[in-house]
């Protein structure tokens, strides 16, 4: 394990990295995908790499000590990455897109909904939704379990955070279609003059606008309902509606506008269900490929949650008892992190290892690359839950594993995501055996869009456990 980053001097002005023209002339710029490219850059040029794309200077960092500075020491020198900056056109000024000092005020207002005692209160909803989902399954059928995970994650975040019952399949599909449309936003964000392109009536923007309008109708309807009945329901939306933010308006009694409430709810609804569903989709695909790991998760779940007539839904106190299932979910997040790269834009000049970073430069810290670095995870492509035992975690740098980012922009819903992932895996593995349909590829193909998704449906065959 290397405690010192591998940093070469390059040409003096910039760290080493691939040149754009040779990549263009060879056709490599059109082949492969972003995660493969970043992995190759790290392997070839080290832990601080420089390259350009469409006239932008990009710095890639892949060592835990550099990443710690990126999230903590140098955080105030950054703005959001270009994708999140451009995403304001769709998401507004929510937690994902806003800059300081607005972001920190928003985080303080929303944080109580994600405190430990509050997360514990969500366990009942997670358990109920998990049991309702598997009750609908039929033995011997083959289902796309990523679609199932999208539906349950949406129902959980809707009920826990907004007291919203997303019951019908039509509602689930409508929201999922809006998320799918938003994923098409990534390639546009990097194009020159993308602000103008986003205003054009091209198919991808038409889909994004249609999805946005449908989500607006749901969220503004939810807000209007709360305005008519403002009683405290103990959820995030009640907290936001009761909150007073005098720093925003100068009025000591001013509450959030409908627009600000909308932006916060939209951001958390989209980010709070899609990423968790992707992680669960990958986890179930892995379990089907590793029967011995699936059997161990099932044995633990049965010991903790009971079987047959004594079977029950998970409760908050069960989370700490599902240790192996937690390690399995963590190993999934290592190999298949839904947030596969964290990006920032330099806002003021500073240095990294003697190299000047100028305003407007983009910095990327790709989780996908660092999580698969053999210096920190020997035999990195092997799925090994024991990597996340207390002993093994203590033996590697803190920022070798950061699926939820870190610092002031660490995912506010991390605690909910962990409980949701662990409980859903446990309930499924306790009662169902998952197998791969014939001719399923051994490797899990990935789609690195705004979040990391399985490239193909996660079709798995269900057999009820005796």
Annotated binding site for heme: 411
- Give the number of other Cβ atoms within 10 Å of residue 447's Cβ: 14
DSSP 1-61: --SS-----TTSSS-----HHHHHHHTGGGSS-HHHHHHHHHHHH-SEEEEEETTEEEEEE
In 88-174, beta strands by DSSP E: 142-144
Phi-psi map region of 308: left, alpha, beta (phi>0 left; psi -120 to 50 alpha):
left
Let me know if 75 is exposed, middle or buried by CB neighbors in 10 A (0-12, 13-18, 19+): middle
Nearest-angstrom CA–CA distance, 96 and 167: 27
Whether the CB-CB separation of 298 and 306 falls below 8 Å is answered with no
d(C-alpha 391, C-alpha 382), whole Å: 19
**How many CA atoms does the CB half-sphere of 15 hold within 13 Å?**
27
What is d(CA 360, CA 82) in angstroms, rounded to the nearest whole number?
10
Task: Tell me which residue of 76, 81, 66 sits closest to 399, measured CA to CA.
Answer: 66
DSSP-assigned states of every residue in 393-427: HHTS-GGG--TT--GGGS-TTHHHHHHHHHHHHHH
As annotated, the binding site includes 411
3-state secondary structure of 311: coil
Task: Let me know the angle formed at the C-alpha of 338 by 196 and 260, rounded to the nearest 5 degrees.
Answer: 55
Query: At 142, phi and psi to the nearest 5?
Result: -115, 125
The position carrying tokens 């449908």 is 214
Query: At CB < 8 A and 24+ separation, what contacts does 6-10 make?
Result: 6/46, 6/47, 6/63, 7/46, 7/47, 7/48, 7/353, 8/45, 8/46, 9/354, 10/50, 10/355
Residue 282: CB atoms within 10 Å: 25
CB-based burial label for 128 (10 Å; 0-12, 13-18, 19+): middle
How far the first Cα of the chain sits from its last, in Å, is: 45
């Amino acid at each position: 394990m290397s405690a010192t980053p591998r940093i070469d001097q390059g040409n003096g002005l910039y760290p080493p990295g691939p040149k754009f023209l040779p990549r263009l002339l060879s056709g490599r710029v059109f082949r492969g995908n972003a995660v493969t490219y970043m992995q190759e850059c790290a392997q070839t040029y080290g832990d601080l790499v420089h390259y350009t794309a469409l006239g932008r200077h990009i710095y890639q960092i892949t060592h835990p000590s550099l990443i710690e500075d990126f999230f903590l020491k140098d955080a105030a020198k950054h703005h959001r990455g270009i994708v999140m900056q451009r995403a304001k056109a769709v998401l507004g000024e929510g937690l994902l897109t806003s800059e300081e000092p607005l972001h920190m005020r928003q985080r303080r207002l929303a944080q109580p909904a994600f405190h430990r005692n509050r997360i514990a209160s969500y366990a009942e909803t997670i358990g109920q939704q998990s049991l309702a989902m598997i009750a609908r399954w039929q033995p011997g059928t083959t289902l796309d379990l990523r679609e199932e995970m999208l539906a349950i994650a949406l129902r959980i975040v809707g009920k826990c955070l907004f007291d919203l019952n997303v019951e019908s399949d039509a509602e689930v599909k409508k929201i999922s279609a809006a998320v799918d449309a938003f994923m098409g936003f990534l390639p546009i964000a990097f194009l020159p003059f993308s602000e103008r392109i986003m205003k054009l009536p091209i198919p991808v923007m038409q889909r994004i606008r249609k999805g946005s309008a449908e989500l607006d109708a749901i969220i503004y309807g939810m807000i209007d309902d709360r305005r008519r009945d403002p009683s405290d329901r103990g959820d995030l939306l009640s907290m936001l509606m009761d909150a007073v933010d005098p720093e925003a308006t100068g009025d000591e009694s001013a509450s959030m506008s409908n627009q600000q409430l909308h932006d916060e709810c939209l951001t958390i609804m989209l980010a709070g269900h899609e990423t968790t569903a992707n992680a669960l989709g990958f986890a179930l695909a892995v379990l089907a490929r590793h029967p011995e790991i699936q059997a161990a998760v099932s044995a633990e779940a049965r010991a903790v949650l009971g079987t047959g007539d004594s079977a029950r839904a998970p409760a908050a106190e069960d989370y700490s008892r599902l240790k192996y299932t937690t390690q399995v979910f963590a190993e999934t997040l290592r190999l298949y992190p839904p947030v596969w790269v964290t990006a920032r834009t330099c806002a003021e000049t500073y240095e990294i290892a003697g190299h000047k970073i100028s305003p407007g430069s983009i910095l990327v810290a790709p989780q996908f690359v660092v999580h698969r670095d053999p210096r920190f995870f020997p035999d990195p492509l092997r799925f090994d839950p024991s990597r996340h035992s207390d002993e093994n975690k203590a033996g590697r740098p803190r920022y070798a594993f950061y699926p939820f980012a870190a610092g002031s922009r660490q995912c506010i819903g991390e605690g909910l995501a962990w409980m949701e992932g662990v409980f859903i895996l446990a309930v499924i593995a306790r009662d169902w055996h998952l197998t791969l349909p014939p001719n399923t590829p051994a490797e899990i193909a990935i789609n690195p869009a705004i979040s990391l998704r399985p490239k193909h449906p996660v079709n798995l065959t269900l057999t009820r456990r005796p």
